[in-house]
Amino acid sequence: MSHESRMPRVSERLRERNRQALEAILAAETDAENRLAKIEKLGPTALLRLVEVAQGHTGQSHHCRRILLAIYNDGKWPLELTRLRVIDRDLQRAALTVIEWATYAGRELHEYLDDGSKVMQRFWLTETSEAE
């Protein structure tokens, strides 16, 4: 087989590999866009659920406040993963949704809440006074 007769097959294989790579990239981008759309849809409800529980006076409330404060200001309130392990499953799903949403949201999450800054300040004060 001459060098000239192998070249079309090599070129054809390279074109096929490039096509497959491009299809894989496009599929990954579509998956990412679908995931983001799902998170943007679920995020507000999950945030409201965490805030609702965080306003209570239970252990679940304490952990939800700390998760929300970690999203609000992780420098002062680092996220302790144990908090995710000790809350109920529905709250775990809500927390993970909110954490993922916070990664992509165009605004700070407290800005999606009515008086969100005041809500977070109240949580901050509650947690600070409980720590003392």
The predicted-structure confidence for 73-124, as pLDDT tens digits, reads as follows 999 999 999 999 999 999 999 999 999 999 988 889 999 999 999 999 999 9
The band of 6, judged by pLDDT with boundaries at 50, 70 and 90, is low
Which comes out higher in pLDDT, residue 60 or 7?
A: 60
CA distance 70 to 110: 12
> Region 11-18: what's the mean pLDDT?
90
pLDDT of residue 4: 58
The predicted-structure confidence for 21-58, as pLDDT tens digits, reads as follows 999 999 999 998 898 899 999 999 999 999 999 999 99
Structure tokens at 25: 């990239």
Residue 71: exposure state from Cβ atoms within 10 A (0-12, 13-18, ≥19): buried
Which of 51, 32, 28 has the alpha carbon at shortest distance from 104? Answer: 32
pLDDT of residue 3: 57
pLDDT at 2 over 60: no
Domain range summary for the chain, segments of one domain joined by +? 35-131
CA distance 94 to 71: 13
pLDDT of residue 106: 84
